[in-house]
Amino acid sequence: MSADLSTMPEKISAAEIRLPTGNFSDDLPFFLKSLGFRLDKIFPADDPAVAVISGHGMCIRLERDSDNPAGVLRLLCNEPGQFAGGETVIVSPGGTRIEIADANPPLVQPETQHSFLVRRLKDSDSWIIGRAGMRYRDLIPGRLGGSIIASHIRIPDGGPVPDMVHYHTVGFQLIFCYRGWVEVVYED
């Protein structure tokens, strides 16, 4: 790699250190409570596998079931083709893998796979525990190719839910409260 990286700091808008974790449910509280990091994002909502945390001058992306043996640093660039001579991967002398990624990639929604189905509670799969202790079950198996999420969500204990910042890359989302009430906060 012969590109002079010191001349391009204005091209980088953010950086993440990606760390694999085999025990997501224990690692996340460890980073948050024991080490004092702040949770910025967690997804998917119904079975968290990725958490982005920040603190101490760094941003870490914890990934469940990742097969990365070493740390990976992602540099998120406004114009990735103009950074590092257009390289998309650089390896440090110590073996750290540095990935050059687009800071603002285009939103790509999966193509909807149409089907007709009826989901009844008595026919459903078991409930899974998602973020903030809420119980989830998918109402659309396979999520029609990933384009539509429909979940039956239960909050068994009621009251305030220590919810987490998350997002969905879907074309449609509807919230219907069957019993009680819910207050939802959206970006902007």
pLDDT digits (tens, 9 = 90+) for 45-67: 888 899 999 987 889 888 887 77
pLDDT at 7: 59
**Is the pLDDT higher at 89 or at 132?**
89
Would you identify the CATH topology of the domain 5-102? 2,3-Dihydroxybiphenyl 1,2-Dioxygenase; domain 1 (3.10.180)
* DSSP letter (8 states) at residue 99: E
End-to-end, the C-alpha distance of the chain in Å comes to: 41
Q: What predicted TM-score, i.e. pTM, was given to this entire model?
A: 0.47
pLDDT-derived band at 143 (thresholds 50, 70, 90) equals: confident
pLDDT-derived band at 94 (thresholds 50, 70, 90) equals: very low
- Tell me the average pLDDT of the chain: 78
Q: Rounded to the nearest 5 degrees, what angle is found at the Cα of 131, between the Cα atoms of 125 and 136? A: 20
Residues comprising the chain, all counted: 188
Q: What is the mean pLDDT of residues 70-88?
A: 80
Cα–Cα nearest to 98, from 71, 69, 60, 67: 71
- How far apart are alpha carbons 97 and 70 in whole angstroms? 8
Kindly give the residue spans of alpha helices, DSSP state H, lying in 1-70: 24-29
pLDDT in tens, 14-32: 888 888 777 788 888 877 8
